[in-house]
């Protein structure tokens, strides 16, 4: 199984709502990532988890709150978002993080959640 | 900050021709390089990678060339097919840097 799954595929939420994005992988990967991608732009890194611990936070606003309950799951909790937060949110996983060997750097991406904030 | 750019934001090629997609990067500490392909409505998909101690690596119909002297990376696709139509991103990485290039859209004309 080389798949990263993300739910939901689409999400529309108001600025006062609280919602969560979910990501799951069963490849035994120990690093998981959240990216944000605006239309016609490259993905931008938000968070990196390594061995279920937050390793990188790219100065993301606190209205985005990541959580890694176990090695297979990654959540992104959303609260009080702004319309400019509308984007495609991508989850990825990799074998390791700075674990040495190029194969550990290859990231497997999910299809993303298309988020619209109204 | 990181600067990763591409020479050609959009590339149109005839089916069967070879395609070359370029990427310039600025971080001399980058020690591995990955090319990703992103089709419409999908997440990026790994194509090929190369380590900084190599200058060329070949896969199936794809070749990646690395010139560290001028900080330039290219992806060559042989006999381009309609299924190759997508946006291609380079990804020069190192220990804790995860930046994608700005992307090149490849259009394959039948």
Mean pLDDT by 10 residues, chain A (118 residues): 91 95 95 93 93 92 97 96 97 75 74 97
Query: Residue A104: which region, alpha, beta or left (left: phi > 0; alpha: psi -120 to 50)?
Result: alpha
What is the pLDDT at residue A1?
A: 65
pLDDT in tens, A17-43: 999 999 999 999 999 999 999 988 999
Q: How far is A107 from chain B (nearest CA, A)?
A: 7
Q: Do A105 and B101 touch (CB under 8 A)?
A: no
First to last CA, chain B: 40
- With contact defined as beta carbons under 8 Å apart, do A55 and A48 qualify? yes
Strand partners, B41: none
Residues of B in contact with A105 (CB under 8 A): 32, 34, 49, 93
Give the pLDDT of residue B42: 93
Q: What is the pLDDT of residue B98?
A: 80
Contact A48 B98 (CB under 8 A): yes
DSSP states of B7-29: S-SEEEEETTS-EEEEEEE--TT
Chain B CB within 8 Å of residue A102 CB: yes
Q: What is the pLDDT of residue B95?
A: 66
CB B30 within 8 A of CB B97: yes
Question: Which residue ranges of chain B lie beneath pLDDT 50?
Answer: 1-2, 6-8
Closest CA to A36 of A45, A27, A49: A45
Neighbouring C-alpha atoms within 13 Å toward the C-beta of B96: 10
Q: How far apart are CA A46 and CA A35, in angstroms?
A: 5
Whole-angstrom distance, CA of residue A25 vs CA of residue B84: 26
- Beta strand ranges found along chain A (DSSP E): 4-7, 10-13, 18-25, 31-37, 44-50, 53-57, 64-70, 73-79, 87-94, 107-109, 113-117
Residue with tokens 């101690």: B53
Output the six-digit token pair for A11.
């999400």
Of the partner residues A42, A105, A111, the one whose CB lies closest to the CB of residue B34 = A105
Q: Does A3 touch chain B (CB under 8 A)?
A: no
Residues in a beta bridge with B12: B107
Cα distance between the two ends of chain A? 36
């Amino acid at each position: 199984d080389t798949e990263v799954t993300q739910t939901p595929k689409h999400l529309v939420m108001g600025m006062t709502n609280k919602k969560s994005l979910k990501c799951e992988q069963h490849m035994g990967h120990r690093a998981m990532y959240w990216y944000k991608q605006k239309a016609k732009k490259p993905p931008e890194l938000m968070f990196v988890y390594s061995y279920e611990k937050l390793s990188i936070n790219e100065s993301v606003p606190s209205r985005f709150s990541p959580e890694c309950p176990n090695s297979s799951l990654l959540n992104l909790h959303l609260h009080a978002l702004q319309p400019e937060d509308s984007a495609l949110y991508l989850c990825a996983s990799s074998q390791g993080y700075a674990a040495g060997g190029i194969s550990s750097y290859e990231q497997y991406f999910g299809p993303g959640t298309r988020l619209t904030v109204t | 900050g990181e600067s990763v750019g591409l020479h050609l934001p959009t590339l149109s090629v005839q089916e069967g021709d070879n395609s070359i997609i370029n990427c310039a990067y600025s971080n001399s500490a980058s020690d591995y390089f990955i090319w990703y392909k992103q089709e419409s409505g999908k997440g990026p998909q790994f194509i090929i990678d190369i380590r900084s101690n190599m200058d060329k690596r070949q896969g199936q119909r794809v070749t990646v060339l690395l010139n560290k002297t001028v900080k330039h990376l290219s992806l060559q696709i042989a006999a381009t097919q309609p299924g190759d139509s997508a946006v291609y991103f380079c990804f020069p990485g190192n220990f804790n840097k995860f930046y994608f290039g700005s992307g090149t859209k490849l259009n394959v004309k039948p």
